[in-house]
Structure 1
């Protein structure tokens, strides 16, 4: 009878499988193998503690430290609850470098013996070298596997297949070849596509995500993936999905990929899916605008929420004094934190003063002379035909391309990631791809712009916009959405004295005639106004608005991608409250 080498030992067994492509029975197979291997070594445990994790990765840091079975093993290890740890192979404990190092340190600090069914034994001479070597191999295997999987997924996307469950508005269809599944295609479900278009229209008109979710629930629209109810966060994710404009965006985070930028940071790969387009680029972009509300959720009862930028720090002004004024919360926070660049007092402007500025600006940019200029530009567009439109698009393309290259240079110079610059670059890239698609369509079909739209814009009087905006009939969220398009920039520059404030406003006349006729804007120029607002010292306050500078013909920033050009005023104090 074989002599027992070990007796009266408590043994812990850890088993794991990493994804749903592996059989759950592999857990039982691992436990059976390690116990048989222990018996061959003469270990007859008096007690076996079992710890398992199913469908859990051991490589990614977030997943590696979120394994309940492994965390239970560590707790028992710290409590001294076992003498021997059995695993099928060392990589089952994990593939994360930091976690494997912690395991080696535990083996050094405790008397626990690690035995693997593949022959590794921490009690054997030279075991530490073998453990470290196996850990390095496990990490490299995970990297290689991840690289192969991602390369295969990119290959499928390149061949026109889809790699995820279908989003709302689509259905999936598996494609077979020789009886073998080779990929999945999506197809538009027209009934759901109508709902998607309605959602984008709601959001572009300023409706909050939670109100859209309530409309979906009240309309008994079924949620994707069998959810119980629609929620604001789900609506936000849906509306930000680029598939609805006919694109699949793949984030490359694999260090072995050649798609990385020079600074080694992840870049986006875009795969065109024109047959899956449900909304236009313009409608998709308008639903992404952060100017619809400061939070992006559509809240706020003021038409100015999310519209006005601070001339000192470039952040958005927030409502204060129970909605009667707007001030810069960022400047206030910086001043309290002792920032030497922060203003001595937080710049504030009253809503009553903003109303005067808005009314004056609309009157000035929609006078007879400028309306005549708008109509002249529309007639030029109409007479130029597709060749003129193509030339305009190429100019815009060159301008956006230069802006994108400038942003890339700025990003590459940063030692740390800059989310704001990266967001601006993403927006510029989106607009650039939209322009490239429009150029391609014109070059292929030589289709002219809609004469009906141009005729409609020529036939409208932009002065009627003033009444529609200021008569108090539009809901705040709708008015806010319109103002964000009419005024790509609305900057509170600061003050000259206690009762004098200065503003810089960019107005898009092409948006005005397009909004009145519910057509697409064809004039991408801005009128730039610099305005001085003067309030009386006595109450009730009497207002006087003076136009300092007016510039016409400035190229308009793309929607949602406006770069604020501010004039800092370090002496700004509370203004016109």
Structure 2
């Protein structure tokens, strides 16, 4: 049995385009059965899954990344996967991933072909690259077929995916089978579209329109999981530029591709766009369309150079979320007496109106920043954090040592049995003139099992002392990291943002509260201890505060 006595992990992946045969349930079921038949052990926490992730995606596959991190921590001895296409569809990146896995001392098996992947020489590397090349070629062909299918639908003026405000998606069926999906004007939504175009052409701003629509309770566009349930500045901005509302369908402005190991959208040349006249889908007339585009062009000329890009200038922008609506906190201008100051405020209150969020509290940027930095330095970046993390680590080491002591006798008995069987088979082999292949194969299989067991025995016997040395090393590194983070917080806003990004385990929640000094924000967040001490499964530490009166540990 190839996996006998090995702690085994299982990895499964399926993209949206793949068939039921490649489903997660099939892979985990067949993989678990293979591990059991081959004598391996599989813990539930060592089943890693990526659902709806393409084979060329490497940066945003949490299951794959978690598996490699666990392998580097020696959490298991082997990984089982259906075949190389589950690992990836990029020749170079898949080969590098396999190399990293094997370099971590983890063996790799494909259950579909019942083989172990090895890189013992140039020929093995060539075979792996050839197979990964075939997987990448298959991915490209799937992408080409998908593009061709969507291109054909776009040229016919059909729905190529997604929903657009102002239209319904109507299924056209032949019996029970769906033939195509067509657009049809939704008259109720079309009235809102015409209203937006008229009011924008008459000089009203995008934020004013969003606030009014939210105040009136007009149902906003649906954006799937990205939807916020309210009208926004950005959704109206896209609407007044969408040519479909004047009866013109444009497809192919963007295309999906992979760069740097992740999916990105890039511009296609204008010559590749598909443009179809669809007068039956017209919602606004040419005169109104032209008036809106003329105003938009003037706006672009005035503000285009100031829009988008640029570095973040304020400490908490990008980290803060309003506790009432979930919208982002941002830095705005405000008047304090006769002075202009920057303040943190809820962006959705400003852009979408009180119907979406009634949190109108504004607090000075400098005051809040100082309070947050002081809180982190006083309650997170100090010696107690290291002591707490190291206590947890030592507790886990003691538990692991206890388990190892219980496991050693069983492992040694199993190793002794394998040695005895190998000796008997070798003696039997010596008595044959022609060497039976079954006996030779039996010796090789038992020798592989014995090698794996002996490796586990060596690791088990050395583990307590090795882990204690590791704790000492981590303690030294943690104290250095602690000093680095404190220094970053004290240097300048950019360095402070880097430090905050390093230690935060999630967004900071701004909750308006009443205090004796007046309305203030209570700011709550979670700091991961592994930011200071790298411990597997480390706990988080919560902190909260009321600005600017100071911060207190939760």
Compute the TM-score of the two structures, normalised by the length of structure 1.
Answer: 0.45
